[in-house]
Copies of this chain bind each other. A is one copy, B any other.
Amino acid sequence: MLSNSSKYAIKAVLFLALNASEKKKVMVKDISEPINVPQAYIAKLLQSLVKEKIVSSARGPKGGFYLDETNMDHPIISIVNVIDGEKRLNSCLMSLKKCNEEKPCPLHNELSASRAQILNSLRSKTVKDLVKEVKLGNAFLPI
């Protein structure tokens, strides 16, 4: 469904949203441990996210990663798109290509509605939305 890398990235972004800010940046080594992802690995993922402006960063002493207000408004799918590419969640369930709506495969009619719902949630839910759920105690960050 999602690659390991995407899962890691989502965890990291949410962790930052909850624990960092422009005036309290967090370094990779303080991210990797609580989210349980190897440091060098999450560092690389974060770099990709910074490049696409999904997260913010600053180097040098007092540097680190954080999310600014615009970062918080990104939909979760944008994280997945950066890490996994656009087509991962989009390909036909029976072939490697995307759905052919005129000639749907036998799984399409059965499953496409559910899949569309998932896509839709990932598109509409922002980092801020998920953070709110965690703050309300309705959801938890898995390690």
A residues at B contact (CB < 8 Å): 1-2, 4, 7, 10-11, 14, 76, 89, 91-97, 100, 103-111, 113-115, 117-118, 121-122, 125, 130-131, 133-134, 138-143
Q: Which 5 A-B pairs have CB atoms at the shortest separation, nearest pair first?
A: A106-B130, A95-B142, A106-B139, A103-B140, A114-B117
How many identical subunits does the complex contain?
A: 2
Q: Known contacts A7-B96, A95-B143, A140-B104; is A121 also within 8 Å of B130 by CB?
A: no
Cβ B89 vs Cβ A106 within 8 A: no
Q: Say yes or no: A14 contacts B106, CB within 8 Å.
A: yes
Contact B105 A140 (CB under 8 A): yes
Given known A-B contacts A114-B114, A115-B118, A7 and B95 have beta carbons under 8 A apart: yes
Could you tell me the distance in whole angstroms from the C-beta of A107 to the nearest C-beta in chain B?
7
Are A95 and B139 interface neighbours, CB within 8 A? no
Residues in B with CB closer than 8 Å to A1 are: 1, 89, 91, 93, 115
Please indicate the chain B residues that have their CB under 8 angstroms from the CB of A113 in the complex: 117
**Complex CA–CA separation, A102 to B92 (angstroms):** 33
